[in-house]
Structure 1
Amino acid sequence: MSPEMTRKIFLYGAGGHAKVILELLEVNERRCAGIYDEYGAATQLLGYPVSGNLNDDYKAADSAMIIAVGNNAVRRKLARKLSANWATVIHPSANISSRCTIGNGTVVMAGVSVNSEVRIGDHVIINTNCSVDHDCVLANYVHISPNVALAGNVQVGEGTHVGIGATIIQGIKIGKWATIGAGSVIIRDVPDYAVVVGNPGRILRMNEPEDVAGK
């Protein structure tokens, strides 16, 4: 077994997203060594104890952490705050091209397909049953929701959230910290901070940079 597979994994966060990551670790036979949640009231999650005190155990050489928080801005804030080795975990049912690259702290859920020469950044969520086709580029802190379909050569900027069931045609560029609404069909480029909904997608409003980027 590789050293990576024997690392103790700590989670930061104890909400619904953390439940999915816990089971992702279990199916990979990875050890969850601890769960931290400084702001929640939970004392256990799926039978695992939750601590409100963040100690330095996660900094050990044989340990790594996953930020189990769905909010992209919060994930970026925590990644900048914490000094950790970051674990990357992929569900065994995911179909991942050997020619793609996946960054640190990223999680890939069940049923995902990632095709040739895709580049995925750090602390990205590739959620259940989504499809990412050839040559896509997903920047850090992106969340691709369940059942999303990205055609080839799509670019998604930092911190952008693509909502459940959205479809993005080939060659589209989506800016940073944008929000693509559930079920939207994107046939034109999307600027930074835009909130886009509908079929075809239209700009509903603009996000405030200081809100979405955690500044």
Structure 2
Amino acid sequence: MAATKYMYLYGAGGHSKVITDILNSLDIEVIGMFDDNPPDAKFKGMEIRDGIRLLGLGFPELDAPLIISVGNNQRRAELAELITANYGTAIHGSAIISAKAKIGVGTVILQGAIVQAGAEVGAHVLVNTAASIDHDNSIGDYAHVSPHATLCGHVRVGAGTHIGAGAVVIPSIQIGRWCTVGAGAVVIRDVPDFATVVGNPAKVIKFREPPNLSIEK
């Protein structure tokens, strides 16, 4: 079936391959790509344009939606602050999304993920393969819920937080902004802003510096 829609991507790494695969499955063609450090190789015959240079000159107005295809949460946030665009979404057809859930612009939801009723997923979020976001969750902008992570009901996840692969968060937990929850961690207590937690039960092992973003000022 021929592509019926078009989209641009910012980011030419491995994450862009996954997003391109999702878009192609939805009959959406990637017609342009930008990157901070564009490789010499082309992407499906397309030249990858120098995003840093264009950001300095004033990012061009695009004739189709854009997705920031960058896996790093902070860089995704930085780019979203710099680029004014019509942002699209990429949601694989095998994902199960409740009609009563809300999904923000720029968000990517991979194969087999589940988002239940009453959940609100922010802008530029990555919900990775087979992640489960249960009812009435709130997922902040720029967060990443990694493969097979399980968030039970009424969980709140702050902006920019990374929930590691296979992590489990019990109901009604609040996880702060720009946190890291280690792979396989079991979170049974609230997590403060900027903390890294690991283990079962999850414990704080360090704090990070707040990112230099306007949303944090």
Equivalent residues in 2 for 1:18-167, closer than 5 Å: 18-45=16-43, 47-54=44-51, 59-60=61-62, 62-167=63-168
| Amino acid corresponding to residue 139 of structure 1 in structure 2 | G
Check conservation: 1:37, 1:50, Cα contact below 8 A: no
Amino-acid identity (%): 43
C-alpha distance in 2 between matches for 1:163 and 1:206: 16
The equivalent residue for 1:176 is: 177
Check conservation: 2:4, 2:27, Cα contact below 8 A: no
Check conservation: 1:116, 1:133, Cα contact below 8 A: yes
Check conservation: 1:35, 1:48, Cα contact below 8 A: no
Check conservation: 2:108, 2:125, Cα contact below 8 A: yes
C-alpha distance in 1 between matches for 2:134 and 2:211: 32
Residue 17 and residue 193 in structure 1: after superposition, are their counterparts in 2 closer, same or farther (change >3 A)? same
Check conservation: 1:176, 1:193, Cα contact below 8 A: yes
After TM superposition, the runs of 4+ consecutive aligned structure 1 residues lying more than 4 A away are 54-58, 211-215
Q: What is the alpha-carbon root mean square deviation over aligned residues? A: 2.1
Tell me the TM-score normalized by structure 1. 0.91
- Deviation, 1:8, is 2.1
C-alpha distance in 1 between matches for 2:59 and 2:175: 38
- Deviation, 1:128, is 0.4
Residue 77 and residue 9 in structure 1: after superposition, are their counterparts in 2 closer, same or farther (change >3 A)? same
Residue 133 and residue 49 in structure 1: after superposition, are their counterparts in 2 closer, same or farther (change >3 A)? same
> 3-state SS of the aligned residue for 2:191?
coil
- Deviation, 1:168, is 0.3
- Deviation, 1:44, is 2.6
Residues 27-64 of structure 1: CA distance to partner in whole angstroms, max 9, x if unpaired?
Answer: 1111111111131424234x35242334689623x411
C-alpha distance in 2 between matches for 1:147 and 1:42: 34
Q: Any gaps of 5 or more consecutive residues in structure 2?
A: none
Tell me the TM-score normalized by structure 2. 0.90
Residue 102 and residue 108 in structure 1: after superposition, are their counterparts in 2 closer, same or farther (change >3 A)? same
> 3-state SS of the aligned residue for 1:9?
strand
Check conservation: 2:74, 2:211, Cα contact below 8 A: no
C-alpha distance in 1 between matches for 2:152 and 2:207: 25
Q: Any gaps of 5 or more consecutive residues in structure 1?
A: none
Number of residue pairs aligned between Structure 1 and Structure 2: 209
Residues 144-169 of structure 1: CA distance to partner in whole angstroms, max 9, x if unpaired?
Answer: 00000000000000000001110000
Residues 165-194 of structure 1: CA distance to partner in whole angstroms, max 9, x if unpaired?
Answer: 100000000000000000100000000000
> 3-state SS of the aligned residue for 1:63?
coil
Deviates more, 1:36-45 or 1:49-58: 49-58
C-alpha distance in 2 between matches for 1:146 and 1:29: 25
